[in-house]
Structures are given as structure tokens and as C-alpha cells.
Amino acid sequence: MKKIIVLFFLIISNTIVAQNLGGNTVFNFLSQPNTAQVSALGGINISNISKDAGMIFQNPALLRTEMQQQVNTSFNSFVAGIKNYSLTTAFYSEKTNTNIALGINYFNYGSTTQTDASGNIYGEFKPNDYVVQLTASKKYLERWWYGATLKFASSNYGIYKSNGIAMDLGITYYDSSNFFQASMVFKNIGTQLKAYDGAGKEQLPFDLQIGITKRLLKAPLQFSLTAHHLQAFNIYYNDTAFNALQGDDSYLNNKFTLQKIFSHLVFATQIFIDEKLEATIGYNFLRRYDLNAYNVANGLNGFTFGVGVLLKKMHIRYATGFYQKNMFHQFSLNFNWKGDGL
């Protein structure tokens, strides 16, 4: 058993050293939120206290027995006609005392004109990305949960196609009496099986995340704090040539240490108005910084908002947020496929 544990941490350590950040990895769609509740929570959350089966995509250790026979469906309308569809369903195996879930997250980028290097048009193609995943989780002692997700990811951009496999490993501590939950997840440990050009393979968007959620005992409020990309300190994408062209020389120094720290954080608050209605607000520091680059800013960049209607047999959630002057609109439905209550 000790040898297995040592081997596990050696694999994790090698993965952390080897992986790159956004802009230098493939299958970055794996980092997109798959359901409205996650989008409303700032786009990243691995510890939220909820019975939403859609949260399984974020952390396999959030898969719980009470999610058995639950289905989460989601539709997201991005800018430029991009569509995102997601489906997750959960089961429970009494024989192995294991929770199991299946999910798919699909991105449709519409139709694109296909040309050659000279600009000659040869028709159209429909680029798309998708990930299919299998998740399993188990309970350990009274307050611990652990889980793993196996993923198959695929990208199809006309003649350029690629696929790969990845794994998420998660662990969660949940104190139900105090409404407190803490989680840690190693995301996208894997490899590209087929490169776009058939030559050199690229790296997957590995992400080490830690999150905590606390619901107040005497107030209808729940707070979450999530830290992402903890395997690196400076996670800002830096194109030095483009920055110089724009007259931005901030990349020449290593100041703004506090800004680099906060770029890892996502804050979220949920307000439980009553048993059937909840409101959510999230704030993603890195997203705000990226969207407010080069004097193109919106005061609401980085903020996300959501509302949930929690009926007995169906939960309906909506999320939105700003990308400069544009907004996304995401809807999710949770229901039991046997028609029972949630």
C-alpha cells in the first residue's frame, strides 16, 4: 500500500512539473464550466455544498449517494454563436458501495469557411470539441469522500483532429453538522493520444485546485473560496511581443505580487431566499484581469450571477456574466429520471 501511495505522488509531482498554463496547452475546453451553478459561482468551484449532479464535472469527490438517478442537463449560449451542451447522470452500486456517474460536455462552434493558404474556398466545416467521462466515488470514515474521473477528450477542426485521455483525482472533507466542506482536486492528468498535425504531442491543461465552502448556521448565506492553478505562481498569459506592440511594458518587471496571488482566487456567495429560491454571485480575478486588458474594460468583467428555482421534482438554474459588452446565458435542469423528488 505504501508503494502505491509513493507512486501516486511521484506521478502527481511529475505531472505538476511538466504541465504548462493556458495558451500553451490543448483541450482547454476541459476548463469550461459545464453547468449553470458552476458558471454562477465564478466558473470554478470544487467544494460547493449542493445536491447538483452537474458539480461532478468539477470534482469527482462531490459525487454522493443522494445523487442516485439524478440527471443534470445544461445549455450555454456563448458569444459569436458558440453553443455548449452538457449531460450528467449518476447511479449507485450497492454491490460495490460505489457511486458512479457518466457525463458529456459538447461545444459547437458553428460553421467556418474552409480555405487553402491562397484563400481559395473549398466549402465549410463545423469545428467542435467534446469530452466524455466516467466518475466513481466512495466514502471514507464519517466525513471524507474520494473520487476519480476518467476522461476522453476530442477536438475536430476540419482536417485537424486530435484526442486524448485524462484523469481527475479529488478528495473532500464534509462536516454536515457545521455545513463546512473543503476539497482538493488534481485536474487533467493525462496525455494527448493524437496530435493535430500528427507529429509532436502537446500538454493538457493541468490544474491543482483547493476550495472551501461554509454555510452559515444562523443566516441563509453560503460562501466559497476556490484557488486554482496552484502548481505555478504567475499564471498570467504573457505575449511579450504583442505587449510591446501595444506599448505595455508592465511585463518587464516582476512587481504586482499581490495581484499574482489574487489571480488564483475565485469568490462566490449564495443567498437562500427561501427553500425554493436561491441567488448566486461570483467573482473571478483572473478573468477580470484578462478581459480588462489594453484599455478595453467593463466594470462588470469578472462578475457572474445566477438564480435557482428549486422545485420538488426539478431544479432550474440560470447563470450569466460579462465578456466585455457581451453576456453568456446558461440554463440547467436537474431532475430524477424516475420522477422522484430531489
What is the average pLDDT value for the chain, to the nearest integer?
Answer: 87
Q: What's the predicted TM-score (pTM) here?
A: 0.87
Domain presence at residue 77: yes
| Domain, as residue range, for 83 | 2-336
CA distances from 190 to 196, 232, 255 (A): 17, 18, 34
Domain presence at residue 175: yes
Looking at residue 325, what DSSP letter applies? T
pLDDT in tens, 187-225: 999 999 999 887 788 999 999 999 999 999 999 999 999
Looking at residue 54, what DSSP letter applies? G
pLDDT exceeds cutoff 80 at 255: no
Domain presence at residue 42: yes
Of 15-24, 206-215, 285-294, where does mean pLDDT reach its minimum? 15-24
At which residue does the C-alpha cell 466558473 appear? 43
Between these two residues, 10 and 314, which has the higher pLDDT value?
314
Between these two residues, 21 and 99, which has the higher pLDDT value?
99
**Mean of the pLDDT values across residues 11-39?**
73
pLDDT of res. 222 = 98
pLDDT exceeds cutoff 90 at 268: yes
Distance CA 38, CA 289 (A): 20
* Strand, coil or helix: 309: strand
pLDDT exceeds cutoff 80 at 19: no
CA distances from 88 to 38, 124, 342 (A): 14, 31, 15
Of 58-72, 79-93, 123-137, 245-259, where does mean pLDDT reach its minimum? 245-259
The residue type at 304: T
Do 170 and 187 contact (CB within 8 A), yes or no? no
Distance CA 56, CA 50 (A): 11
Tell how strand 326-336 and strand 221-227 pair up.
Answer: unpaired
**Mean of the pLDDT values across residues 3-12?**
43
Domain presence at residue 266: yes
Number of domains in the chain: 1
Domain presence at residue 73: yes
| Confidence at 58, pLDDT banded by 50, 70, 90 | very high
Helix, strand counts (H, E) of the chain: 5, 16
Between these two residues, 62 and 340, which has the higher pLDDT value?
62
Domain presence at residue 341: no
Give the CATH number for residue 46: 2.40.160.40
Contacts of 181 (CB under 8 A, 6+ apart): 47, 48, 49, 172, 173, 174, 175, 212, 213, 214
Domain presence at residue 342: no
pLDDT in tens, 168-192: 999 999 999 999 999 999 999 999 9
Domain presence at residue 150: yes
What percent of the chain shows pLDDT beyond 90?
66
pLDDT exceeds cutoff 80 at 20: no
State phi, psi for 244 to the nearest 5 degrees.
-65, -40
- Which of 149, 144, 155, 139 is CA-nearest to residue 55? 149
**Mean of the pLDDT values across residues 308-335?**
92
The kind and range of the H/E element at 248 are: none
Do 141 and 33 contact (CB within 8 A), yes or no? no
Distance CA 169, CA 187 (A): 7
pLDDT of res. 9 = 44
pLDDT exceeds cutoff 80 at 50: yes
**Mean of the pLDDT values across residues 111-140?**
90
Do 109 and 123 contact (CB within 8 A), yes or no? no
